[in-house]
Amino acid sequence: MFNVTPIAIYEDNYVWLIQHQGKVCVVDPGHAEPVIEHLQKNGLTLDYILVTHKHWDHITGIAPLKQHYPLCQVYGTGHEEVPCLEHALLGGESLDLMGLTWQVVHTPGHTLGQIAFYVLDESGQGHLFSADNIFACGCGRMFEGSAEQFQASLASLVSFPASTLIYGTHEYTLANINFALHIEPNNTFTLHRQDLCTQLRDEGKATLPTTIGDELKSNPFLRWGQPDVIRAAEHHKGAPLHGPAQVFGEIRLMKDKF
Ligand SMILES: [Zn+2]
């Protein structure tokens, strides 16, 4: 059984804890104590750490975890500075970890060196650890890459099957939905999602994982081909836009100022 649990850290980050065939892995441990506490409470040790990119809220826990669990192996982006990195990944690799085959995808845009991890479990369910690429109804900020790079990265991630579960690293969903409805006020799926996610947050639950299918129906950063989204982007720009990257870039700019 492939089992994934969110460990909430800081204001709105998640460290994803993965268990499969008796092995334990965490993705982007930005803070060690909550992870150690969770592992101890559940009688677990740590075998692997996966790291998508260099930002402090994704890497700060690595060194202390490595100290606490010296046998655990650190896999992460080789494009950036990652503490204790033992297996540098550039994208395009497949890894055999926890009895499964993982695909590494290089996804420049949020940072230039960010990678994401995709794995298919034995039931045929896909799991995408999307880092700061795709959030529920949103995407990461464009700190380093160009709109062309970021849009191409997102396009490569959403080419996995629609049923794929997406584990983003931030609980920004309700704010993202507000923005999505600003872009597409008549999107009934997003309106339905707002009710659902409001209820989940009221119950103190995570709104993640999401799925590629749900994101394609409601995430304005992935809907660069939709007439309403193109219209909103062109209205903001005050000029015609040409192609997915330009539409995406304008929507990203609108969100930065929203
Ligand atoms: Zn980041």
Please state the domain count of the chain.
1
> Ligand 1 centroid to 53 CA: how many Å?
7
pLDDT at 136: 96
pLDDT at 70: 97
Quote the CA–CA distance of 66 and 40 in Å, as a whole number.
15
The DSSP bridge partners found for residue 5 are 17
Percent of the chain residues topping a pLDDT of 70: 100
Number of residues that this document lists for the chain: 258
pLDDT band at 151 (very low <50, low <70, confident <90, very high): very high
**Tokens 């219209």 found at:** 231
Which tokens is 169 given?
Answer: 């690293």
> Ligand 1 centroid to 140 CA: how many Å?
7
Q: What is the pTM of this model?
A: 0.96
pLDDT band at 142 (very low <50, low <70, confident <90, very high): very high
Q: Angle at the Cα of 179 (from 175 to 184), degrees rounded to 5?
A: 140
Quote the CA–CA distance of 113 and 123 in Å, as a whole number.
31
Neighbours of 209 (CB within 10 A): 20
> Ligand 1 centroid to 38 CA: how many Å?
23
How distant, in Å, are the alpha carbons of 39, 62, 200, 222 from that of 195?
33, 36, 9, 21
Find the CATH number of the domain harbouring 252.
3.60.15.10
Which tokens is 121 given?
Answer: 């479990």
For residue 170, the 8-state DSSP code is: B
pLDDT at 187: 97
Which tokens is 122 given?
Answer: 């034995």
Q: What tens digit of pLDDT does each residue of 227-250 get?
A: 999 999 999 999 999 999 999 999
> Ligand 1 centroid to 132 CA: how many Å?
5
pLDDT band at 220 (very low <50, low <70, confident <90, very high): very high
Mean pLDDT of 208-213: 97
> Ligand 1 centroid to 11 CA: how many Å?
14
> Ligand 1 centroid to 81 CA: how many Å?
13
State which residues have CB under 5 angstroms from ligand 1, the bound ion: 55, 132
pLDDT band at 146 (very low <50, low <70, confident <90, very high): very high
Q: Are 106 and 88 in contact (CB under 8 A)?
A: no
Q: Which residue range(s) make up the domain with 190? A: 3-256
Q: Are 110 and 143 in contact (CB under 8 A)?
A: yes
Cβ neighbors of 258 (< 8 A, separation 6 or more) are: 179, 182
Q: What tens digit of pLDDT does each residue of 49-104 get?
A: 999 999 999 999 999 999 999 999 999 999 999 999 999 999 999 999 999 999 99
The DSSP bridge partners found for residue 20 are 23
pLDDT at 130: 95
For 233-244, b where at least 16 C-beta lie within 10 A, e where not — what string?
beeeeeeebeeb
> Ligand 1 centroid to 105 CA: how many Å?
16
Query: Which uninterrupted H or E stretch holds 211?
Result: strand 210-211
Q: Are 130 and 211 in contact (CB under 8 A)?
A: no
Residue in 112, 108, 166 with CA at minimum distance from that of residue 135: 166
Which tokens is 92 given?
Answer: 């395009």
